[in-house]
Amino acid sequence: MTIGIICYPTYGGSGVVATELGKCLALRGHRVHFITHAQPVRLSLLTDRVHFHEVVVQDYPLFDYPSYELALSSKVVEVVEREGLELLHVHYAIPHAYAAYMAQKMLEEKGLYIPFVTTLHGTDITAVGRQPSYNPAVAFSIDQSDAVTAVSESLRTETYAHFDVCKDIRVIYNFVGLDDTAVNPSCCKRRALADEQQRIITHMSNFRPVKRIRDVIDVFYGIQREISAVLLLMGEGPERISAEERVGELGLGERVKFLGNCLEVDAVLRHSDLFLLPSEKESFGLAALEAMALKTPVVSSDAGGLGEVNQHGFSGFLSPVGAVERMVQHGISILRDDVILERFKNQARQVAGRFGRDAIVPQYEALYAEVLRDL
């Protein structure tokens, strides 16, 4: 099958999932063409089965804002015709499903039909899509899709609650690799991150307000008052300065390390003892799943899809949003004893096994085949 994937090429969860999906599909024998404005950050290798097509947006004096949707839909038409794409998989309703629909209409004028599958990841539904100026376009894009998926039951429910759509939305969870190969010898060593007797606590996100970074720091502050630990923060974003200020206010000094857009995420998570994710909203919680796959238990809020990923009392603990003290106690209960910590580590990995690529990717393949069969 020859598949076009349209996604954001950044570090965000939707771009990561879309890129990893494309790579997995290529390994399973499909030809995959990524169509976006930059090469996805997780797409380090192009092969005879993996291709990248850049969308170039031209400045035009009469446009106050360059139109990415116009450039994207035109590029899709070009790639479909030249490469013989059979199906598009777009990640995010707007602008990607909207652009796919426009490309579909242009191709119909040429006697071609390209079906498209839309995956809803969260922000397109929980934030952007609720804006009055975007709501009708989101609903239209969902209903015009040939098939629609959501990354959690929570997101599926929220979509129906906030949009007047008729389309059947099926849940296909995000996934992770469960590769047991050893860390590359060139990767960072545990001793570079913490002293031998210290627990390593981590957080990874885009540092937006919804991630509640100050809560991450406050939870760590409570834990480290009883247990020797360091906090490693991976990511960048608008709350970085506020986080640094909070670290200073609490006198945490060198016990908190800002790693930025870390290139050794897997290595850091393998060395970690606890992952904190106290988000206000999470449509799925991919960062938590990535941590669990590397045997790191999770203390998180019970927001959105997190309850479908983090199994309370088994892979970690769930608490209401903003319940800092409860999260502190949950963290201490995991970290205080080596035997308990090891049990939670193994259980986190066990839960992550439900979301392995071999369990999830075939669900997308089956959906593609269904869409093509129904044409």
CATH number at residue 323: 3.40.50.2000
- Please check whether residue 22 is in contact with residue 5, taking contact to mean a CB–CB distance below 8 angstroms: yes
Give the full edge-to-edge strand order of the sheet including 50-54. Answer: 50-54, 31-36, 2-6, 87-91, 116-120, 147-150, 169-171
Picking from 124-133, 141-150, 312-321, which range would have the lowest pLDDT averaged per residue? 124-133
pLDDT of residue 185 exceeding 70, the answer is: no
The dihedral through the CA atoms of 248, 254, 255, 261 has a sign that is: positive
pLDDT at 187: 67
Q: Is 361 found in the same domain as 343? A: no
Mean pLDDT lowest for which of 178-182, 261-265, 274-278?
A: 178-182
Model confidence at 44, pLDDT cuts 50, 70, 90, reads confident
pLDDT range class, residue 131, cuts 50, 70, 90: low
Is residue 265 over pLDDT 80?
yes
Q: What is the mean pLDDT of residues 2-28?
A: 87
Average pLDDT over residues 118-147: 79
Residue 265 counted as domain residue: yes
Whether residues 7 and 129 share a domain: the answer is yes
Domain count, the chain: 2
Residue 112 lies in a domain: yes
- Phi/psi class of residue 290: alpha, beta or left (left: φ > 0; alpha: ψ in -120 to 50)? alpha
Question: Same domain, yes or no, for 366 and 349?
Answer: no
Inter-CA distances, 324 with 210, 310, 352, Å: 15, 17, 25
Categorize the per-residue pLDDT at 181 as very low, low, confident or very high, splitting at 50, 70 and 90: very low
pLDDT at residue 182, as a whole number = 46
Flag whether 181 is in a domain. Answer: no
Assess whether 309 and 362 both reside in one domain: no
Q: How confident is the model at residue 157 (pLDDT cuts 50, 70, 90)?
A: very high
pLDDT computed for residue 58 by the predictor = 73
**180 in any annotated domain:** no
CA distance 268 to 246: 23
Tell whether the model's pLDDT for residue 364 goes beyond 70: yes
User: What is the distance between the alpha carbons of residues 231 and 291, in angstroms, rounded to a whole number?
Assistant: 15
For the cut 70, the answer to whether the pLDDT of residue 183 exceeds it is: no
pTM, to two decimals: 0.88
Per the structure, the complete domain to which residue 23 belongs is given by 2-175+356-373
Give a yes or no: residue 182 inside a domain. Answer: no
pLDDT greater at residue 70 or residue 220:
220
How high is the pLDDT of residue 38? 79
Interval 70-79: pLDDT, tens: 889 999 999 9
Does 160 lie in the same domain as 56?
Answer: yes
Q: Verify that 168 and 19 share a domain, yes or no.
A: yes
Higher-pLDDT residue of 56, 229: 229
346 and 205 within one domain: yes
Give the angle subtended at the CA of 336 by the CAs of 260 and 306, to the nearest 5°.
55
* 285 Rama sector, left if φ>0, alpha if ψ -120 to 50, beta otherwise: left
Q: Which amino acid makes up residue 96? A: H
Same-domain pairing of 145 and 210: no
362 and 234, same structural domain? no
Q: Are 70 and 100 contained in the same domain?
A: yes
